[in-house]
Amino acid sequence: MNWTEIIETLNHLTEPTYLYAAGAIVALALCLILLVRRQPNKIVAYRTENGRVMVCRSAIVELIRTSCEQLDAVAKPIVKIKVKGKTTHFDVRIQLMSGGRLRDIEQTLQTHLRQNLTENLGIENLGQINIVATGFKSGRIQVSSPITSKGQVPVAALEIVDHVKPDTTTALREELEEKPH
């Protein structure tokens, strides 16, 4: 196949019918991606003989946020809920504050969340609770030794050196001024 045949074949693809079909396929793919990635509005907590008991997503998010607010070293929690089969999984994204240790926070938060989600909201099929640290906010830095800022020059560099020879033009000018005319 030479270049002219390839170009002729590609020119046929620019016909309106092919363009409409390609646009429809792209739109369908985007809709499917959005449906798969969508957060559920309600989670099945448990089932009884009379029906299902469901919990709103907002109630779960509020429980997780208030739990995170109780820890001084945690800020800005973001919750993602994934339901796979009958099991509900959680991703909790947090920012660590100064002095926060991720291992301690992770253990405390996972234990507390698992207990509250099962006892308070009644979620029976609880899966993983993933804690994701998305950032770290440092506290104020205490100055322990003198630090020069970008614009400052160290004091030692400003010492005047006495043994430098004067400029020759300046020396000649001074000699001429001293001589009488």
Burial class (CB in 10 A: 0-12, 13-18, 19+), 64: buried
pLDDT per residue over 13-51, tens digit each? 778 888 888 889 999 888 887 776 666 778 888 888 999
**Angle formed by the axes of helices 102-119 and 57-69, nearest 10°:** 140
Range of the domain at 118: 42-137
pLDDT per residue over 93-146, tens digit each? 988 887 778 888 888 888 999 998 888 888 888 889 999 888 887 766 677 766
How much is the pLDDT for 159? 47
How much is the pLDDT for 161? 47
| Total structural domains within the chain | 2
- For residue 151, pLDDT over 60 is answered with no
The pair phi, psi for residue 82, each rounded to 5°, is -125, 130
Residues 74 and 105 in one domain: yes
Residue 19 belongs to some domain of the structure: yes
Residues 10 and 90 in one domain: no
CATH number for 116: 3.30.70.1350
Residue 107 belongs to some domain of the structure: yes
Sequence-separated (6 or more) residues with CB below 8 Å from residue 54: 42, 43, 44, 45
Token pair listed for 42: 């309600």
Residues 48 and 126 in one domain: yes
Residues 64 and 133 in one domain: yes
Identify the three-state secondary structure at position 55. strand
What's the chain's average pLDDT? Answer: 78
When pLDDT is averaged across residues 150-170 and rounded to a whole number, the result is: 52
Residue whose entry in the numeric block shows the structure tokens 């959005």 = 34
Which helix or strand (DSSP H or E) is residue 25 part of?
A: helix 16-37
Residues 30 and 46 in one domain: no
How much is the pLDDT for 67? 87
pLDDT per residue over 42-95, tens digit each? 888 888 899 988 888 888 889 888 888 888 888 888 888 888 888 888 899 988
Portion of the chain with pLDDT greater than 70, in percent: 75
What's the whole-model pTM score? 0.56
Beta bridge partners of 75: 95
